[in-house]
Structure 1
């Protein structure tokens, strides 16, 4: 089902086949898995309309089984946990290196989502940042991309400089092992004590810092000032692999 195919009339709770005594907290679990995305971004990821998701989040309606599986697949969580809270959901606080934990039988890894939009200072990139929640990824999907869970973290994008590729409120997954420019790509950088998601392009004169939004000018960090550009890692996922 595509984003445009979702129907505009969610099934009312009284018509739903789920046992209501077990799904009272569905909206809380949905809110938890949705928290890593904007409503617009999550609706695109699920293939459901924003109106449908708002109805689920408010508790006014509940999803049918096919939609439950759509949401669980998009959020990469177990449908049984999403619907009923059957599976244990781990939420350990941590940092890169402690970030990923096994889920159930080890098929899942959790990656921390940091409140790091306004990170500043000379310490570690995530110093003084709190962990908002953890994002669940299957270890298989990470392994296919050559990623190690312990070297991953996530932050939310702030501002419109990377639209339409990344929109404000979108979440990006960072591979912290990739701190050198490997051809052109989107990286999380710290420049002038602030974090940015930008496309980097190496040139003879230095490194070009590029915004996708044409309203923003390209910045070049000259070769003699490259020590001021800290590459936190490469963005490898944002509602799809980059």
Structure 2
């Protein structure tokens, strides 16, 4: 399903179909489905303008019914839940069992500004809520991108899809993270050293390990920890 971006004026408080008592909660639910996604990327995924999304977040305007449905459909939730907070959040009876995680057209190769700035949502990946809960994962803080290159060959192949937990954006211990360094995105294994530096390790031994000294750690941004990966076997 495709959307055409629109900048038509949204309804004001007095004429909006969402009851005034539910409007503040609507903003909370909007923030919930946005998670860590920036307003620009989220708006693009919904087919709306960034200004419209920011206006909803600030409470200056509220979405009309067609826009409400547009936002809900693009994010795998029901418009009724988004507007009123009813427990049935899924688009269908079965969909309440699933969380829909955005897959961005970003890849672990290059990125500027916000990690997903200029990226669009290609599709949504369905995970059972039960499986995410078992791993302590919250859908609102997850996103997926594709791996670019062969530096992690043996663990991740070129074109593999990885799921990122954006809450885990501090080095907890040796693990694979999506990081940004010198305006490039990488999926790499990180290891903290005794002198406070961090080693950036490639699975493919053809690539040398990089070291970021303690005094330059501010130049290393951890986007999140890789918690799941998928690839084709053929």
TM-score scaled by length of structure 2: 0.58
Quote the offset at 1:214 in angstroms. 0.4
Gap runs ≥5 in structure 2: 1-71, 77-81, 83-88
Moved over 6 A (4+): none
CA distance in 2, matches of 1:204, 1:228: 19
State the match for 2:115 in structure 1: 125
State the secondary structure of the residue aligned to 1:146.
Answer: coil
Of residues 199, 210, 215, the one that matches 2:206 is 215
- Structure 1 residues 148 and 93: alpha-carbon distance in aligned structure 2, compared to 1, 3 A threshold: closer
Q: Is the 8 A contact 1:91 1:134 kept in 2?
A: no
For 1:30, the equivalent position in structure 2 comes to none
Q: Which moved more, 1:139-148 or 1:109-118?
A: 109-118
Instruction: Describe the superposition over 1:139-171 as per-residue Cα deviations: whole angstroms up to 9, x where unpaired.
Output: 000000000000000000000000110000100
Shift of 1:91: 5.4
Do 1:172 and 1:237's aligned partners in 2 also have CA atoms closer than 8 Å?
Answer: yes
Q: Which of 90, 99, 102 is the aligned partner of 1:102?
A: 90
Query: What TM-score does the superposition give when structure 1 sets the normalisation length?
Result: 0.57
Aligned to 2:128: 138
SS across alignment from 2:158: coil
What 5-or-longer segments of structure 1 have no aligned partner? Answer: 1-89
Q: Contact (CA 8 Å) 1:157, 1:172: kept in 2 or not?
A: yes
Please name the residue that 1:184 is paired with: 174
2:141 matches 1:159: no
> 1:203 — aligned with what?
193
Q: Please list the CA deviations of residues 197-223 of structure 1 after superposition, one character each: whole Å capped at 9, or x if unmatched.
A: 000000123000000000000000000
Contact 1:102 1:110 in 2 (8 A): no
Q: How many corresponding residue pairs? A: 145
**Aligned-CA RMSD value:** 2.1
1: CA distance, partners of 2:110 / 2:90: 28
Q: 3-state SS of the aligned residue for 1:102?
A: coil
In the alignment, which residue of structure 1 is the partner of 2:26? none
Q: Secondary structure at the residue paired with 1:212?
A: coil
Shift in Å, 1:183: 1.0
